[in-house]
Amino acid sequence: MSSESESESESESEAEGEGEGWIPRTSLGKLVQAGKITSIEDIFIQGYRIMEPEIVDVLLPGLEVEVLDTGLVQKQTDAGEKGRFRAIVAIGNRNGWIGLGSGKAKQWRTAIEKATLDAKLNITPVRRGCGSRECACDQPHSLPFKVRGKCGSVIVELIPGPRGLGLVASEGVKTILQLTGIRDIWTRAYGSTRTRASIVYATFNALKETFKVVTPQDWAT
Ligand SMILES: [Zn+2]
């Protein structure tokens, strides 16, 4: 097994996440449980929307979970001040799949669990490649072309870089890129970049763009 000591202490719901005891509520869930759909790629090719996190547990087992941001949200009520935790979580397999989610709850741990479930529902493929002119190899160590994503007033650009460059990015962004399996990239952020939530969501939206652009390789298949 891997050296994920953290997953040892995860809740039982995570441990039994391979689809056991799961009663699917959607037709897609039923197809996955019956073994009629066996790859997550098929779900995206056919344009289904994932409404049950268990689908991701079955088709993409062993996703890594990283908490990107947590905080306390103060809420003024009649009874006085009430705090709620919020969390942003990224999940990925370091091989072209990434999800980002957020959750709020009275308990810190529950906020993270909610964010993890949300991230599963938002799982998305990332097209990797080498769009660096200096490098021009055929390895998927970077992105095939430049992409940009937006969240609020924040814009994040991801620019292909040569092998050996590393991830030129701020902390939360770097974590997301690591979870996708990208190793070399330049990043630029514009706007109110002090809010980490906006930056990580803009990064996620940029990564989604990698599958919205049709390239000459797509015409061949
Ligand atoms: Zn390259």
pLDDT in tens, 75-102: 667 766 678 999 999 999 999 999 999 9
Enter the pTM of the model: 0.85
pLDDT at 14: 42
Predicted local distance difference test score (pLDDT) of residue 81: 65
Q: In the chain, which residues fall in CATH 3.30.230.10?
A: 147-215
% of the chain beyond a pLDDT of 70: 84
Distance CA 148, CA 201 (A): 11
Give the Å distance between the CA of 161 and the centre of ligand 1.
7
Residue 131 CA, ligand 1 centroid: distance in Å: 7
State the pLDDT at residue 185: 98
Report the pLDDT value the prediction gives residue 220, as an integer from 0 to 100: 52
For residue 81, give the 3-state DSSP assignment: strand
Q: What is the pLDDT of residues 127-144, one digit of tens each?
A: 999 999 999 999 999 999
Residue 31 three-state SS: helix
Give distance in angstroms: CA of 129 to centre of ligand 1: 7
- In sequence order, the β-bridge partners of residue 101 are 89
127 near 97, Cβ under 8 Å? Answer: no
Distance of CA 167 from the midpoint of ligand 1 (Å): 14
Residue of 60 and 47 predicted with greater confidence: 60
The residues whose Cβ lies within 5 A of ligand 1, an ion, are 130, 135, 137, 163
Q: How far apart are the CA of 134 and the centre of ligand 1, in A?
A: 8
* Contact call for residues 187 and 168 (beta carbons, < 8 A): yes
In this predicted model, what pLDDT tens digit does every residue of 162-174 receive, in sequence order? Answer: 999 999 999 999 9
CB 57 within 8 A of CB 36: no
Q: Which fold has domain 147-215?
A: Ribosomal Protein S5; domain 2 (3.30.230)
